[in-house]
Amino acid sequence: MNSSKVSQPSIPKSIWALGSVSFFMKISSVIVFSLSPLFLTKTLGASVFAIGILEGFIEAVALFTRLFSGIVSDYIHKRKKLIIIGYIFALISRPLLGIASNIGGVFLGRAFDRIGNGLDATPRDALVGDLAPPQIKGACYGLRESLSRAGSFVGGILLMVLLWYTYNNYSLVFWLGSIPTAIALIVLIIFVKDPISEKFQNTTKRKLVSVKDIKSLPLSFWLVLLLSGLYMLSNFSGVFLIIRAEQTGLDIHLTPLVMVVQNFATSATAYPVGFLSDRMGRRSMMALGILIVVISNIFLAMGGSIYIILIGVLLWGAEMGIAQSILPVLVADSSPENVRGTGFGMFHLVNGICLITANPVSGWVWDHVGPSAMFYTSAGIAALSSLVLFFIPAKKVLKL
């Protein structure tokens, strides 16, 4: 009998609960994300370049929130409480968008949404690393991402139904988006444990992360940051995918189909890729993701038919499943527990800075050169990021 199979740990219940929280939260988030660009362009008459500026600026709002929440979670030894605060911000953002009547109102609602995301994203990723057994860390991160994207898939279908039955009543749909956010908050409070909080509950000793602690992070961590930063420069907001699909003549109430296809692909790939990365190594899986980015951009650049665009979107979703599963695991692998929150904060900070750059530049290239040029540029930058993979140490794979 192979004893390694008997001793193989199972995914902790708190990670399943955290994945369920992400599932409900994403149902709500996809409503906000998918409706915002349509409301801005169709109702308020905003340009694609203006949307790129808005998306980039909103990411800036979340940047230091992500770094702040990571450092604070390491200091107070409480990840869960910060995630709860973040979800409260997100819950407030839905009604704000529901009553918005101008670009400023949309910006305020989106800002609250991104602040909430900044407060919850970093401690949430660190919490998965705290909870996950080392042997199945990739599977744990992949599971959470798959459940999260399954929520986006369900949310996209739900959004199409709501737009159909409300006759494109954006305000009402924004209000209804509050319901799954409230459910996510309740599940988080009741079912998710915080091992760091439990570990330090009987001590008042706290130490703020210092510059020395940050400098002591291993070279592998900084290489992961470089890889992630370059990779994120090739990314752009899904708003551009929605607009690209709409250019083919797709009806307004069917535009959430873009997010449905994307999130189906992301959900379907995240867990299997995370699982395989525990056995085949992180680098090979990330290399696959980069290759798919390039192929996806080629289809999106071709355009012309909604079917070609949807193939590109499907591949784009698959690469997101790979990246969103593998990059956090690489950070967790290279970040010691006492500075894991800070490590993830820096990870999100670098990604945010790159997205701030990528979104406005993508919008400018789209408006002044053309959509195809934007997608080819993305493919070239993604290919460049693959060079960093050669310098990241290979993880020792499991022997089953």
How many whole angstroms separate alpha carbon 371 and alpha carbon 365?
A: 7
Predicted TM-score (pTM) of the model is 0.76
The confidence score (pLDDT) of residue 318 equals: 93
**Residue 85, number of CB atoms within 10 A of its CB:** 16
The confidence score (pLDDT) of residue 89 equals: 94
CB–CB of 195/131 below 8 Å?
yes
Residue 243, Ramachandran bin (φ over 0: left; ψ between -120 and 50: alpha; else beta): alpha
Q: What is the pLDDT of residues 264-315, one digit of tens each?
A: 898 899 999 989 988 888 888 999 999 999 999 999 998 778 889 899 999 9
CB-count burial class (<10 Å; 0-12, 13-18, 19+) for 249: exposed
Provide the terminal-to-terminal Cα distance of the chain, rounded to the nearest Å.
12
CA 104 to chain centre: 25
The confidence score (pLDDT) of residue 59 equals: 67
Nearest to 121 by CA among 113, 111, 131, 110: 113
How many whole angstroms separate alpha carbon 114 and alpha carbon 180?
A: 17
> CA 28 → CA 125, 172, 189, distances in Å?
19, 13, 18
Domains annotated on the chain, with CATH = 12-195+209-389 (1.20.1250.20)
The confidence score (pLDDT) of residue 292 equals: 94
Q: Which residues contact 12 (CB under 8 A, 6 or more apart)?
A: 131, 132, 133, 140
How many whole angstroms separate alpha carbon 26 and alpha carbon 113?
A: 12
Q: What is the pLDDT of residues 152-208, one digit of tens each?
A: 788 878 888 898 888 888 889 989 989 999 999 999 999 998 887 666 655 555 566
The confidence score (pLDDT) of residue 375 equals: 92
Ranges of residues in the chain whose predicted pLDDT is under 50: 1-6, 397-400
What DSSP string runs through 306-321?
HHHHHHHHHHHHHHHH
How many whole angstroms separate alpha carbon 208 and alpha carbon 202?
A: 18
The confidence score (pLDDT) of residue 398 equals: 43
Q: Residue 381 corresponds to which amino acid?
A: I
The confidence score (pLDDT) of residue 198 equals: 63
